[in-house]
Chain A
Amino acid sequence: MIEIKGLSKSFGKKTVVEDVTLKIQAKAITSFIGPNGAGKSTLLSMVSRLLDADTGEVLLDQSDVKKMKSDAFAKRVAILKQANHLNIRLTVRELVSFGRYPYSKGRLNKEDQKFVDQALEYMNLTDMQDKFLDELSGGQKQRAFISMVIAQDTDYILLDEPLNNLDMKHSVQIMKILRKLVDELGKTVVIVLHDINFASVYSDRIVALKDGRLVKDGPTHEIINSDALREVYDMHIPVQVQDGCRICVYFNSHN
């Protein structure tokens, strides 16, 4: 389990994450939601050690992540950032193979290859595995990066807006794969989402941030209702039930 305790971060005078405390439930999908600039990415970066917190700590199964060995941590927690830009030219397969680095240290064995094949398969990339990333569309590239994180085969998968650039079909496909990773393989997924309906339909829990503070943290059904969502987004968000799913219909809302 990941425990976040009193985490804060400022850039200059601006506090972007303020005293956030929460537990991330294991073997579940937790969605982080909140307006732009709420601090979601910053929080995720601190949990995954990309960024040092000013105060507070992050515990992974009771041990402080900052004290863990880098390569041991990389076998347990994987993160995909919101924006990914590479300076070097790689094929899809080469990128995904990097996901095995914590295990292979650059020399892939049969088992590593198997994980790579499977991760490519999951993201529907098998056919284009030998294409260079700069020959792909934005969505295809995004899928290649997700594929790398899946190949990393960690217990915890943190994804910052992975549905960026993806069409509806692939978005649904990825959410279903994440569901499968949780339900069948017992992984824990934390995902930042702007499409609140994906959060509603696929996540077990939702964490809402606003101005750097935690404003909501609970099971999905407690958060997806107009009152709670108004607190987060300052707008009126009607919620309808469709085929047993709570769907937010906010497209022509007037505050």
Chain B
Amino acid sequence: MRKNSTKLIILAVIALICMLLFAFYNIQGGFSYAFPKRLERLFAMVITGTAIAYATVAFQTVTRNRLLTPSVMGIDSMYEIVQTIIYFALGSSSIFVVSRYLNFGVSIIAMVLFALILYRFLFRADKHPIFLLLLAGMIIGTLLGSLVTFMQVIIDPVEYESLQARLFASFMNVKTELLFISAGIVALAFLYGTRILHKLDVMSLGRDNAINLGISYDKMVLRILILSSVLIAVSTALVGPITFLGLIVSNLAYQYFATYKHSVLIIGASLISIIALVGGQFLVLHVFNLTTTISVIINFIGGLYFIYLLLKESRKAG
């Protein structure tokens, strides 16, 4: 068996190759125009990839499950909801739409608040079986989704068009003006996030052992849930929802590295995440010559993988 450090190096090399290919392969239409555009996209993918990887692994450690992720529980759809409500209630000329930063701030705060309320309600007793949580999360997600559809139906058609443009964020359509503020928030989050990696290791022993070893457990759980919600919220606001990416990369990392060490798991998951996004987008654009974005494909594969994990888990339980 390879050592984990070797595995990390292999992944890092693959990720680098993907990034180089994406940046330089077959540039058309003038280097000085296309190259900065590609770099922007690349930058967005690296930010979101690592943010989602960290958020998912940390979330799964503190909730002690490997099936649920913040996205699966519906934080992503909260973004749509916030935007729709703003358009619905205030219209496209309101300051909350016009000012990108204000919009960004409001969306993130709303997503984090929603996440915390959801967790408070769902994880309070810490006793609910995982399928119940999953079901509850999905029902809430669906409910909110229907609400959004309803509002979108009765909204003014012109407004709707502009809302659609807003909601349809993707890697090919990165909101450049939000790139740097997102990077800033993610960097701040990681500044804290990397300092608590060893606490995450201890917390994976469960509440009682973690408290015994001197972790302020409940406080840390809250902080980590906030941290992971912020990361997911930022990445959703930047490039739109990639619901199943976190689930795929975290579980691949658990399997590939077979360790409890979060330093390894999180770096590994981030690299896998970058490979999936950048490599995937490269294949989509240059090999399959499709115009679709990688998010769609990841969600498709991720959905299948999710079902596979569910079945595996239920077989284990039954």
Contact = CB atoms under 8 A, between A and B. Distances in A.
Interface of A: 48-50, 70-75, 78-81, 84-90, 94, 98-99, 101-102, 105-107, 149, 152
Interface in B202-221: 202, 204-209, 211-216
A132 to B, nearest CB: 10
Name, among A84, A85, A94, A106, the residue most crowded by chain B CB atoms within 10 Å (CB to CB): A106
A84 B202 CA distance: 14
B205 to A, nearest CB: 6
A190 B201 CA distance: 28
A37 to B, nearest CB: 19
Contacts of B258: 89
Contacts of B197: 106
B166 interface: no
B211 A49 contact: yes
B37 interface: no
A50 B211 contact: yes
Nearest to A49: B211
Interface residues of B, number: 19
B214 A98 contact: no
Contact of A106 (B64, B198, B206): B198
B209 A70 contact: no
Nearest to B263: A106
Given A94-B260, A106-B198, A86 B214 contact: no
Contacts of A98: 202, 205, 209, 213
Nearest to A80: B212
A191 B222 CA distance: 33
Nearest to B219: A70
Contacts of B207: 50
Contacts of A85: 206
Given A73-B214, A80-B212, A90-B260, 7 more contacts: A70-B215, A71-B214, A86-B206, A89-B258, A94-B260, A101-B198, A101-B202
B69 to A, nearest CB: 16
Binding site of A, secondary structure by majority: helix, strand, loop or mixed?
A: loop
A102 B260 contact: no
A214 B202 CA distance: 34
9 contacts: A50-B212, A74-B212, A79-B208, A86-B206, A87-B204, A89-B258, A101-B198, A101-B202, A106-B201
B214 A74 contact: yes
A50 B208 contact: yes
Nearest to A75: B214
Contacts of B260: 88-90, 94
8 shortest A-B CB distances, which residue pairs? A74-B214, A106-B198, A71-B214, A102-B214, A101-B213, A70-B216, A88-B260, A70-B214
A9 to B, nearest CB: 16
Contacts of A101: 198, 202, 213-214
A90 B216 CA distance: 23
A131 to B, nearest CB: 15
Name, among B197, B206, B209, the residue most crowded by chain A CB atoms within 10 Å (CB to CB): B209
Name, among B64, B216, B260, the residue most crowded by chain A CB atoms within 10 Å (CB to CB): B260
Contacts of A152: 212-213
Given A50-B211, A70-B211, A98-B209, A87 B216 contact: no
Nearest to B207: A50
A102 B215 CA distance: 9
A159 B216 CA distance: 21
Contacts of A86: 205-206
Nearest to A154: B212
Contacts of B208: 50, 79, 81
A133 to B, nearest CB: 11
Given A94-B260, A105-B198, A106-B198, A88 B205 contact: yes
A71 B211 CA distance: 9
Nearest to B215: A70
Given A98-B209, A105-B198, A106-B198, A88 B214 contact: no
Contacts of A149: 212
Contacts of B214: 70-75, 101-102
Given A74-B212, A98-B209, A98-B213, A87 B64 contact: yes
A50 to B, nearest CB: 5
Contacts of B201: 106
B204 A88 contact: yes
